Structure 1
Amino acid sequence: MANHKSALKRHRQSLKRRARNRISKTRIKNTVKAVREAIEANDVAQAQEALKAATSILDKAARKKIIHQRQAQRRVARLQTAVNKISA
């Protein structure tokens, strides 16, 4: 553990950020899982709604640098492709 006042503050900040990032990453996992479950069930309407929510959450996480921007784009593209497959 750090002894300097500034190092202690940095540690407190890192703990707060870690908790915030974990919440966002859990939210990402749950929304992506909802899209995949709708795809497995061949429910086009539900899949499109879930995809819309997942896209929003992934983009927000990328904006806040919780995940990399290209990772967010890649995940959205793959989900979009899967939704389009069941739509056709």
Structure 2
Amino acid sequence: MANHKSAEKRARQTKKRTMRNTTSLSKMKTNIKKFKAAVSENDKEKVSTLFKLNVSYIMQLAAKRIIHRNNAARKISALSRLGNTIKNS
């Protein structure tokens, strides 16, 4: 337990940030699942819309340092490769 006033405040802030980050990560994962579902359905319009949405959201998370920029680049690259499979078919 925190013994100082500043440490107590830091504990409160950490709790809030953890909840916010968890929510953001969960939303990202859900968006990626929707994208993968659209790819499996071969819905080109939905895939392109969801790709733009996912890239934008992942870059926002990287900018806020919720995820590492290399992690963001890896996820975007994987989504891009997956999206390209439907365009070639």
Q: TM-score range by the shorter chain?
A: over 0.9
4+ residue runs of structure 1 moved beyond 4 angstroms? none
2:50 partner letter: A
Unaligned runs of 5+ residues in structure 2 are: none
2:81 partner letter: T
CA distance in 1, matches of 2:72, 2:45: 22
Tell me the percent identity: 38
Structure 2 counterpart of 1:42: 42
Q: What aligned pairs does 1:73-84 form with structure 2 within 5 A after superposition?
A: 73-84=73-84
Cα shift readout 1:39-86 (whole Å, capped 9, x = no counterpart) = 111111111111110001100000000000011111111111111111
* CA RMSD, Structure 1 to Structure 2 (Å): 0.7
CA distance in 2, matches of 1:45, 1:80: 15
Taking structure 2 as the reference length, the TM-score comes to 0.95
Query: What is the deviation of 1:5?
Result: 0.7
Structure 1 counterpart of 2:67: 67
Query: What is the deviation of 1:2?
Result: 1.0
Q: Does 1:56 align with 2:52?
A: no
2:78 partner letter: R
Task: Provide the aligned length of Structure 1 versus Structure 2.
Answer: 88
CA distance in 2, matches of 1:21, 1:76: 19
Taking structure 1 as the reference length, the TM-score comes to 0.96
